[in-house]
Amino acid sequence: MAVVSTIVFLAVLVLLVVNSPGWEDVKRQFFDWAEFREALPEILSAFGTNVRIFCIAEVFILVFALVLAVLRSLPGPVFFPLRALAIVYADLFRGIPTILVIYILGFGVPALQLSGVPTSELFWGTVGLVLVYSAYVSEVYRAGIESVHPSQEAAARSLGLPPLLNDFIGLQKDTALIALLGVVEAFRQSQIDVAATFNYTPYLATALLFVLITIPLARFTDWLVARDRRRSQAARLAG
């Protein structure tokens, strides 16, 4: 019944859209199949930059966030300065919009013209993502470290994995923000194509590529959660 009702709802929604007064204009501007086929190869090639940014940033985030979580979890007054530093870092970079961090680093640091300091917009855009997402992921680590008893390590891993993967789904989407620095990734390439043709179909092609990445990650997360739930239920029944 739920599946049927969903299909009926979507069918009604599609009928309303395609019969709306402005549908022909929207179809011509956003759903031009010829423009889609022409723009997709360039956008797909540029999308490789997004994937590289994601993979590189993810490695550094996992390590840096773990260091922050450990620092924040250190007991005793002697470690108070380190705990305070980790808290300030997490609060600061979770409070500043990601786009501002990327702007400040991507335009500000190269403008300093410091000897030996990279001036690549791609480099500093990636650094900005690492700084912001490390703050979020460190909280995921910390929650797992502090809230679960040591005898329940498997439960800690299963509880911490969904939010961790959800953060990385957000990271994959936010790689498009580096386009603001002028780096030619998928979104920037679609902007170039739109400016050349005055047709917005390339945006649709870019959105499709991100969806093809993020939806499988989301379903993989759901599968892991369901698998751990089944294992927990089986263990309880066996006990």
5-39 pLDDT per residue, tens: 889 899 999 899 889 999 999 889 888 999 999 99
Pair 43, 206: CB distance under 8 Å: yes
Per-residue confidence (pLDDT) for residue 95, from 0 to 100:
87
Q: What is the C-alpha separation between 104 and 135, in angstroms, rounded? A: 17
Residue 152 pLDDT exceeds 70: no
54 confidence band (pLDDT: 50, 70, 90):
very high
User: Where is average pLDDT lowest: 30-44, 138-152, 165-179?
Assistant: 138-152
135 confidence band (pLDDT: 50, 70, 90):
very high
Q: What is the C-alpha separation between 238 and 236, in angstroms, rounded? A: 5
Q: What is the C-alpha separation between 35 and 26, in angstroms, rounded? A: 14
Per-residue confidence (pLDDT) for residue 217, from 0 to 100:
81
Q: What is the pTM of this model?
A: 0.79
* For the chain, percent of residues with pLDDT exceeding 70: 93
159 confidence band (pLDDT: 50, 70, 90):
low
Q: What is the C-alpha separation between 79 and 19, in angstroms, rounded? A: 65
Task: Compute the mean pLDDT over every residue in the chain, rounded to the nearest whole number.
Answer: 86
> Over the Cα atoms of the chain, what is R_g?
22
Residue 184 in 3-state DSSP? coil
Q: Of residues 85 and 221, which shows the higher confidence score?
A: 85
Residue 163 pLDDT exceeds 80: no
**Can you list the alpha helix ranges (DSSP code H) found in the chain?**
2-18, 23-30, 33-73, 80-95, 98-103, 109-112, 121-147, 153-174, 186-197, 201-238
* For the chain, percent of residues with pLDDT exceeding 90: 45
Average pLDDT on 63-79 reads 90
The domain made up of 32-229 is a member of CATH 1.10.3720.10: yes
Nearest residue to 136 (alpha-carbon basis) of 79, 211, 80, 57: 57
Per-residue confidence (pLDDT) for residue 149, from 0 to 100:
59
227 confidence band (pLDDT: 50, 70, 90):
confident
Per-residue confidence (pLDDT) for residue 160, from 0 to 100:
57
Per-residue confidence (pLDDT) for residue 82, from 0 to 100:
92
Q: Of residues 18 and 151, which shows the higher confidence score?
A: 18
Question: Where in the chain are the domains?
Answer: 32-229
